[in-house]
Amino acid sequence: MSAQDEAPRLDFIREIVAADQASGTHQGRVATRFPPEPNGYLHIGHAKSICLNFGVARDFGGTCNLRFDDTNPVTEDTEYVDSIQEDVQWLGFSWDDRLYYASDYFERLYECAVRLIRDDKAYVDSLTADDIREYRGTLKDPGRESPYRSRPIAENLELFARMRAGEFPDGAHVLRAKIDMASPNITMRDPILYRVRRAHHHRTGDAWCLYPMYDYAHPLSDAFEQITHSLCTLEFEDHRPLYDWLIANVTGLPGRPRQIEFARLNLTYTVMSKRKLLQLVEDGHVHGWDDPRMPTLSGLRRRGFTAEAIRRFCDEIGVAKRENVIDVGLLEFCVREDLNARSPRAMAVLRPLKVVIENYPEGQTEDFEVASHPDNAALGTRHVPFGRELFIERDDFLEDPPKKFFRLAPGREVRLRGAYLVTCREVIKDAGGQILELRCTYDPLTRGGDAPDGRKVKATLHWVSAAHAVDAEVRLYDRLFTHEMPGSGQADFLTQLNPNALEVLTGCKLEPSLAAPAAGARFQFERLGYFCADQDGAASRPVFNRTVTLRDNRATLPG
Ligand code: ATP
Ligand code: MG
């Protein structure tokens, strides 16, 4: 067998699924789900879970449900429900008609709880929250049984019904599973299954004042949907015995899902806790969930990241059981590779310096037809006008260049990309010594950029014709944090925000083909990086976001 024929190595989850399928567990069926809580926007960490759950279903001929885990009415909102659906679809996955809400199961979940009570496996506890905590014990000390633990079944049934009916104030009673107060696993010390909470739910309104706990609702929802492999992140490892206990002890469930934990994605220079992301939004450190500095899918999308690049990134990082931290440079690498292959090229001058070509006839212009991509002919060509007055990038000129600076300088000849060789003849300054413009000459024999006598120049600059230039705003984005692990140790992550994560440049000059880009259109601005048209732009004045620079300058060693 040649190397090419070898099946790709499966990650540990796909190995389990493959073995289950081979042995006929679940009759060979594979069903996964992506279960976001609608209390925030999805982020790049969720992308890992989405790619895994939908990817496993795809790879094994199974199905993947989208289920909103909306059991906590206080923090949830339909704005999040809508954004999550948009983001999953944008990433390239489809739940078809399998869109579910844990809140749709409230009645069924309640019935399951009644069955647990009837089977003497759950009881109504009337201790205060503080007492429950105190009775629970610690890692070292076993818990103590609540005096209400031995309540007769009939009394439990009656109290639970009255909890639902709204006869008790919030916190007066809870429903607990009757498991083991001496368990070394604190999760198993009679976990709370239901609490009374008068809160308006974004879907069920005020129909309920009794809400199930996540640890109770999640395994049962999985069972209702006949999920086979319930993939979750490692922090739920300690909860797995409770998951299994519920699946084993609630009678009449239609499925027997198995929980498998994997390591969550952590990225350098990035925070991913929804609580922290919400704080960034609410305290105005960013301009919203879709701010291009945010690691949210909507932020990355607005920044210009492609779904393909994010999926590739998720493939590259793989799935494992051990916690680790991925270099955000890998995500940037994936987006650079993808954008390099697909983005049309264009010329844009971000910090313009005027150049007058003294020997170019006044009023004359000419058109250069330039390929939009060096090796993707399908992207076609565009027309770039040239004239007597041009803009070049301010930092492409130095009056007194150091040894290694090869770009424009007094007396020096360089190439204007695709146009002509030009030589700088004179520097015009204002009274304060600020450079106002350069006077250059061009060599008419170098049309297209090459000299017939074969003389070489050491630099090729991008440029824009002044008479045709489109004025634009360009937003340069950088990493949101200056610290590799924001908030680690004693640090407050907010003190590690990068004040230069956004730099807004106005008065940028674009070639005319960029005049009215569709929002979301992506380009490589030659020599500068990848840029994406922002929704804030208008026909008269486009706005572009820098997605990434062309190269990872941080990795370049000085010299
Ligand atoms: P919080 O940030 O408040 O802890 P969460 O990240 O768990 O919330 P959920 O909406 O519950 O948010 O997540 C939905 C799914 O995405 C869960 O299965 C969760 O395990 C997974 N997920 C969340 N964050 C990551 C991450 N960083 N890497 C991989 N999977 C993740
Ligand atoms: Mg969660």
User: Is the domain of 247 the same as that of 355?
Assistant: no
User: Is the domain of 258 the same as that of 367?
Assistant: no
Of 212, 241, 262, the last residue of a domain is 262
> What percent of the chain has a predicted confidence (pLDDT) above 90?
95
Kindly state whether residue 216 falls inside one of the protein's structural domains: yes
Q: What local confidence, expressed as pLDDT, does residue 552 receive?
A: 79
Task: Please tell me the pTM assigned to this model.
Answer: 0.94
Q: Which residue has the tokens 């309540």?
A: 151
Q: Is the per-residue pLDDT at 283 higher than 50? A: yes
CA–CA distances in Å: residue 164 to residues 117, 119, 171, 288, 516: 14, 19, 13, 38, 58
- Sequence letter at residue 441: T
Does the active-site annotation cover 264? yes
Query: In angstroms, what is the span from residue 553 Cα to ligand 2's centroid?
Result: 36
- At 4, the pLDDT band (50, 70, 90 cuts) reads low
Is the CB of 272 within 6 Å of ligand 1? yes
Query: In angstroms, what is the span from residue 25 Cα to ligand 2's centroid?
Result: 27
Q: Is the per-residue pLDDT at 558 higher than 90? A: no
Roughly what angle, to the nearest 10 degrees, separates helices 44-59 and 78-91?
60
Q: What local confidence, expressed as pLDDT, does residue 76 receive?
A: 83
Q: Element (H or E) spanning 50, and its range?
A: helix 44-59
- At 554, the pLDDT band (50, 70, 90 cuts) reads low
CATH number where 375 lies: 2.40.240.10
Compute the mean pLDDT over every residue in the chain, rounded to the nearest whole number: 95
Is the CB of 257 within 6 Å of ligand 1? no
Kindly state whether residue 141 falls inside one of the protein's structural domains: yes
Domain containing 70 equals: 12-262
Kindly state whether residue 487 falls inside one of the protein's structural domains: no
Kindly state whether residue 408 falls inside one of the protein's structural domains: yes
Of 418, 448, 469, the last residue of a domain is 469
pLDDT tens digit sequence for 292-335: 999 999 999 999 999 999 999 999 999 999 999 999 999 999 99
Q: What local confidence, expressed as pLDDT, does residue 1 receive?
A: 41
Is the CB of 265 within 6 Å of ligand 1? yes
Return the structure tokens found at 323. Answer: 């916690």
Q: What CA dihedral angle connects 65, 66, 72 and 73, to 10 degrees?
A: -130
pLDDT tens digit sequence for 27-37: 999 999 999 99
Kindly state whether residue 341 falls inside one of the protein's structural domains: no
pLDDT tens digit sequence for 475-494: 999 999 999 999 998 999 99
Q: What local confidence, expressed as pLDDT, does residue 540 receive?
A: 80
Kindly state whether residue 511 falls inside one of the protein's structural domains: no
Does the active-site annotation cover 332? no
pLDDT tens digit sequence for 508-531: 999 999 999 999 999 999 999 999
User: Is the domain of 253 the same as that of 360?
Assistant: no
Kindly state whether residue 114 falls inside one of the protein's structural domains: yes
- At 557, the pLDDT band (50, 70, 90 cuts) reads very low
Of 437, 469, 501, the last residue of a domain is 469
Does the active-site annotation cover 429? no
pLDDT tens digit sequence for 413-453: 999 999 999 999 999 999 999 999 999 999 999 999 999 99
Tell me the residue ranges of DSSP E strands in 79-188: 99-101, 122-125, 174-177
Q: What local confidence, expressed as pLDDT, does residue 553 receive?
A: 66
Q: Which candidate, 419, 375, 422, places its Cα nearest to that of 397? A: 422
> Do 546 and 505 touch, CB atoms closer than 8 A?
no
Q: Which candidate, 35, 20, 21, places its Cα nearest to that of 220? A: 35
Could you give the number of structural domains in the chain?
2
Question: How far is the C-alpha of 294 from the C-alpha of 279, rounded, in Å?
Answer: 12
